[in-house]
């Protein structure tokens, strides 16, 4: 992806968060110089990969396959400290986060405002394929039946608990606007706990055609 594209998508997300009165931590607005000035005090941010994160999953078509998120809090996978994580996301209409599951992480994904959030889900087989039989999940704490691959739609205010080894993809329903999407989970580990059904890249390759407007978590290595 071009850095200029990433910059524009982040600016649009800032406006979207402001529209829904979702206020981000101060460091989400730091420029590169501010990061360099404060970096010695930011070990928790760096180790937990807190901050802006945007990906096209290596497909080169962000508006079709992509996600913008901000990790607000996160523990360390190998630590006895903080055992939880939280994210806020902007999910665009028909913009898909591809099918995947987590071996360790359990998560609640929440429609916090905007349009309708659509999930398609499958249990994993023992060989990590797609099971073809129904199962149950909890929507706002109430068990619901789920048919493999059938859409489960969350209106604003609703949430879905996604257990380990449950494949899921999600997107905002076309015609209803983007979704302010939250996630509350156990510790997030992007290096070792994502099992995508198809081989894809979690982080994008970036062509630096202009300076970063906001640093991504994948940029932190340049200032540590």
DSSP designation for 25: P
pLDDT tens digits, 133-147: 999 999 999 999 999
pLDDT value at residue 149? 98
pLDDT band at 155 (very low <50, low <70, confident <90, very high): very high
The answer to whether 156 touches 113, Cβ cutoff 8 Å, is yes
Domains and CATH numbers, the chain: 3-222 (2.60.120.10)
Sequence-ordered list of residues with C-beta below 8 angstroms from that of 147, at least 6 positions apart, any chain? 134
Task: Give yes or no for residue 125 having a pLDDT over 80.
Answer: yes
Other Cβ atoms less than 10 A from the Cβ of 53: the count is 19
What residues does 136 pair with on adjacent strands?
145
Give the C-alpha distances (Å, rounded to integers) separating 153 from 22, 28, 173. 22, 30, 8
* Percentage, residues of the chain above pLDDT 90: 92
Give the C-alpha distances (Å, rounded to integers) separating 136 from 90, 122, 142, 144, 200. 27, 10, 10, 5, 28
pLDDT value at residue 222? 84
DSSP designation for 23: P
Task: Give yes or no for residue 112 having a pLDDT over 90.
Answer: yes
Give CA–CA dist 219/224, Å, rounded: 9
Give CA–CA dist 5/13, Å, rounded: 12
pLDDT band at 203 (very low <50, low <70, confident <90, very high): confident
| Phi, psi of 15, rounded to the nearest 5 degrees | -65, -40
Give CA–CA dist 202/21, Å, rounded: 29
| Range with lowest mean pLDDT among 63-67, 85-89, 197-201 | 197-201
| Phi, psi of 115, rounded to the nearest 5 degrees | -85, -150
Task: Give yes or no for residue 83 having a pLDDT over 80.
Answer: yes
pLDDT value at residue 119? 98
pLDDT tens digits, 164-181: 999 999 999 999 999 999
Return mean pLDDT, the chain. 96
Task: Give yes or no for residue 211 having a pLDDT over 80.
Answer: yes
Other Cβ atoms less than 10 A from the Cβ of 75: the count is 19
Name which of 76, 88, 155, 86 is nearest 117 in CA terms.
Answer: 155
pLDDT tens digits, 19-30: 999 999 999 999
């Amino acid at each position: 992806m071009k850095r200029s594209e990433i910059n524009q998508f982040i600016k649009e997300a800032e406006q979207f968060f402001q529209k829904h009165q979702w206020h981000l931590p101060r460091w989400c607005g730091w420029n590169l110089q501010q990061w360099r000035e404060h970096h010695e005090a930011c070990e928790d941010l760096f180790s937990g990969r807190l901050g802006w994160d945007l990906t096209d999953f290596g497909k080169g078509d962000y508006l079709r396959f992509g996600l913008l998120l901000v990790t607000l809090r996160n523990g360390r996978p190998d630590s006895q400290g903080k055992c939880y994580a939280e994210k806020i996301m902007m999910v665009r209409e028909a913009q898909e986060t591809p099918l995947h599951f987590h071996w360790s992480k359990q998560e609640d994904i929440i429609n916090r405002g905007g349009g309708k959030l659509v999930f398609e889900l499958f249990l994993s087989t023992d060989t990590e394929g797609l099971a073809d039989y129904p199962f149950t999940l909890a929507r706002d704490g109430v068990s619901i039946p789920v048919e493999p691959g059938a859409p489960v739609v969350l209106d604003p205010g609703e949430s879905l608990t996604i257990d380990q080894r449950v494949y899921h993809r999600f997107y905002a329903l076309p015609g209803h606007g983007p979704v302010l999407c939250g996630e509350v989970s156990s510790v997030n580990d992007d290096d070792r706990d994502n099992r995508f059904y198809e081989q894809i890249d979690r982080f994008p390759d970036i062509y630096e055609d202009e300076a970063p407007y906001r640093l991504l978590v994948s940029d932190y290595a340049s200032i540590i």
